[in-house]
A and B are shown apart, each in its own frame.
Chain A
């Protein structure tokens, strides 16, 4: 039995959340001179909107910073189910598969000319927004890359090298990273990194060739030795006593960063902005080294246009202008988000970019290098839940006294409960 009427979908939302306006059916019908844009908060989207406004003064943009990436995805779901949808919405990579499963909710960007610009983007990034019948639902705005940000002053105090090449050489592998942590802990008595779940497991599990699904999209999270290896590294870090046990992005984590409670944190390109705004007083005390294992990606977002958008054309023009290789390069210069368009990776503005907050580290080069050896894998609709349960199992061992010996089995059982297979 299928219920596709917008009214019934609206009612579904009402059933759980008693505030919503019913949907109005098909898209289009706007004035073409304005559009509504939902983005995340705290990523400085307004800078980019202003830049577009300067180029196109005839267009009115109504920017709403909904909240975190997760909150934005939740609001979008509610809106798609029967509310007023934006014309343009930013979707974080982890939330994307859930929407790609339901392509009928979005404009197929091929109808607006996506095929013409397809070749500008990293192929494996582009493919994540392609639905089962080839519909293109989103244009990638940035990728994360991977690296480790570390405090040179704290490393020096612990007798570790501070030069970024020498630090990168300290940890060719994650085992070596944990070993470095032990050395740091012995020398200072303080935590080396923030937490095992995000800074170790989540990085390592994104460096695999197959993650929770096999190449033919079957679930293999429980049998894939690469996942198990990444999980074991997380548990090893959690039990080594080298973490400060503060989960990423919670308030104690921010305070710990500002106070130098930990000396190293895994940092994709977008994390640099977080560090800058969380610990502004530590300017110049950071540097950036290679991620153990050399390459990988964490994060990146997409711009999509909901089917019922009033001004899909105006939204598409914004995408075409601001997400072109040149547009993304300018975005990199403005806020440091790594472009998803490899054409500009050799451009001097990116390749020679240095960040004074991070001791003039060549951020453009470090992050584009981290994408070079990357092996793309399939991300399915259950990937976010599976990843969260693994993270929880490691956090449980690290912070709540969970038993490391049963952590893997506990995680598998919780995943099975959550996704049913």
Chain B
């Protein structure tokens, strides 16, 4: 038995062993290929993210002492009217920008999906132009359009005898101004998402409905909207997460007091409050605590999204 087996056992091994080594090298090289992303993500994404939680527990002066204070920053935050003001502004601006934006995108997508629309490609590309325009450029133009003394809108209002409105200095005016900018920037992107989803709905379904006597509104209500439900949920969630992080627009509109977005923080959002505390007052610890709060809000919304989308799947 040993005599018959021994030759085989000596002849067989070498090839698998080399193959195994090559296999390890291959497997490692795969990690090497994806490493650049993960190294950069780790250094500039994951580490700062985790470090924010750490800094939030300190009274952290970037050029001075860092004193451990436990959860004092959070206690202070919950009692800070400026934090709640910023949270309220963020929600208000989000609602003012998201609801009209999604409705407008829905209507536009429906129009752009129309079978007899000429130059469809041109219109479909055009709606994306605001999205690729820089936020700063958009902000500068809109601030001028809405200016109290020299703005186009107040000039038009003046023609019909309305007193000039100081958009930036009033609470609702500044929210409206920022919401308009956000809407202007994002509606094209949302429209294209809806359009892509609409085009997967067979045209024959619309035609069959039309033959059965369904008007445009009924077709919209009973075919378009149900077909778009998953992507609508998706855009609501992404725009909510984006809406919680609105920063550049409020920073740029009140040039007299940029970090607070005006004298009474009338349009200061949470991210701007974070920035003001971190880089205006150099309270890195407190700014980080606001960042953690923001993170928790985003997680809660993402969780809601998960619940909603699983329920929708179950419905179908």
A residues touching B (Cβ–Cβ < 8 Å)?
Answer: 1-3, 8-9, 11-19, 74, 77-78, 80-81, 98-99, 101-102, 105, 245-253, 255-256, 261, 385, 388, 391-393, 395-396, 399-402, 417-418
* B119 adjacent to chain A (CB < 8 Å): no
**Interface segment, one of B54-62, B225-233, B240-248, B306-314:** B54-62
**Interface segment, one of B189-197, B203-211, B278-286:** B278-286
**Chain A residues closer than 8 Å to B278, beta-carbon distance:** 16
Q: Is the CB of A417 within 8 A of B82?
A: yes
CB pairs A–B below 8 angstroms (25 shown): A2-B65, A9-B62, A11-B51, A12-B60, A13-B62, A14-B47, A14-B51, A16-B287, A74-B280, A77-B62, A105-B63, A245-B169, A248-B256, A249-B255, A250-B254, A251-B144, A252-B150, A255-B149, A255-B150, A261-B149, A393-B263, A395-B256, A400-B171, A402-B264, A417-B82
* B138 adjacent to chain A (CB < 8 Å): no
Query: What is the distance, in angstroms, from B297's C-beta to the closest C-beta of chain A?
Result: 18
Give Cα A72–Cα B257 distance, bound, in whole angstroms: 17
- The residue on A at minimum CB distance from B279 is A74
* B81 adjacent to chain A (CB < 8 Å): yes
Q: Which of B53-90 contact A (CB under 8 A)?
A: 54-55, 58, 60-68, 80-82
Contact of A15 among B48, B255, B256, B260 (CB under 8 A): B48
**Chain A residues closer than 8 Å to B80, beta-carbon distance:** 417
Q: Is the CB of A250 within 8 A of B284?
A: no
Q: Is the CB of B51 within 8 A of A399?
A: no
Q: Is the CB of A392 within 8 A of B62?
A: no
* B45 adjacent to chain A (CB < 8 Å): yes
Give Cα A314–Cα B47 distance, bound, in whole angstroms: 38
Given contacts A11-B51, A250-B255, contact A102 B169 (CB under 8 A): no
Q: 1/0 contact trace for B206-221 toward A, CB 8 Å?
A: 0000000000000000
- The residue on A at minimum CB distance from B256 is A247
Given contacts A1-B67, A16-B288, contact A102 B61 (CB under 8 A): yes
Q: Is the CB of B266 within 8 A of A400?
A: yes
Given contacts A77-B63, A417-B81, contact A16 B264 (CB under 8 A): no
Give Cα A277–Cα B105 distance, bound, in whole angstroms: 45
* B250 adjacent to chain A (CB < 8 Å): no
Q: Is the CB of B284 within 8 A of A11?
A: no
* B37 adjacent to chain A (CB < 8 Å): no
Q: Is the CB of B62 within 8 A of A12?
A: yes
Q: Is the CB of B149 within 8 A of A400?
A: no
- The residue on A at minimum CB distance from B45 is A18
Q: Is the CB of A392 within 8 A of B257?
A: yes
Q: Is the CB of A1 within 8 A of B63?
A: no
Given contacts A78-B62, A251-B143, contact A399 B263 (CB under 8 A): yes
Residue in A9, A12, A105, A393 with the greatest tally of chain B CB atoms within 10 Å:
A12
**Chain B residues closer than 8 Å to A417, beta-carbon distance:** 80-82
* B305 adjacent to chain A (CB < 8 Å): no
Q: Is the CB of A1 within 8 A of B256?
A: no
Give Cα A400–Cα B68 distance, bound, in whole angstroms: 40
- The residue on A at minimum CB distance from B287 is A16
Q: Is the CB of A14 within 8 A of B44?
A: yes
**Chain B residues closer than 8 Å to A1, beta-carbon distance:** 58, 66-68
Residue in A9, A74, A80 with the greatest tally of chain B CB atoms within 10 Å:
A9
Q: Nearest 10 CB-CB pairs, A to B?
A: A247-B256, A395-B263, A81-B62, A250-B255, A392-B263, A15-B51, A1-B68, A399-B169, A250-B256, A102-B64
Query: What is the distance, in angstroms, from A120's C-beta to the closest C-beta of chain B?
Result: 29
**Chain B residues closer than 8 Å to A78, beta-carbon distance:** 62, 279
Query: What is the distance, in angstroms, from B57's C-beta to the closest C-beta of chain A?
Result: 10
Query: What is the distance, in angstroms, from A86's C-beta to the closest C-beta of chain B?
Result: 15
Query: What is the distance, in angstroms, from B41's C-beta to the closest C-beta of chain A?
Result: 11
* B110 adjacent to chain A (CB < 8 Å): no
Query: What is the distance, in angstroms, from A419's C-beta to the closest C-beta of chain B?
Result: 9
* B291 adjacent to chain A (CB < 8 Å): yes
Q: Is the CB of B44 within 8 A of A77?
A: no
**Chain B residues closer than 8 Å to A252, beta-carbon distance:** 147-150
Query: What is the distance, in angstroms, from A41's C-beta to the closest C-beta of chain B?
Result: 15
Query: What is the distance, in angstroms, from A188's C-beta to the closest C-beta of chain B?
Result: 17
- The residue on A at minimum CB distance from B49 is A15
- The residue on B at minimum CB distance from A401 is B170
Give Cα A396–Cα B291 distance, bound, in whole angstroms: 28
Given contacts A250-B255, A251-B143, A252-B148, contact A19 B263 (CB under 8 A): no
Q: Is the CB of B63 within 8 A of A400?
A: no
- The residue on A at minimum CB distance from B257 is A392
Q: Is the CB of B66 within 8 A of A249?
A: no
* B262 adjacent to chain A (CB < 8 Å): yes
Q: Is the CB of A12 within 8 A of B55?
A: yes
Give Cα A119–Cα B148 distance, bound, in whole angstroms: 50
Query: What is the distance, in angstroms, from B142's C-beta to the closest C-beta of chain A?
Result: 13
Q: Is the CB of A16 within 8 A of B291?
A: yes
Q: Is the CB of A80 within 8 A of B51?
A: no
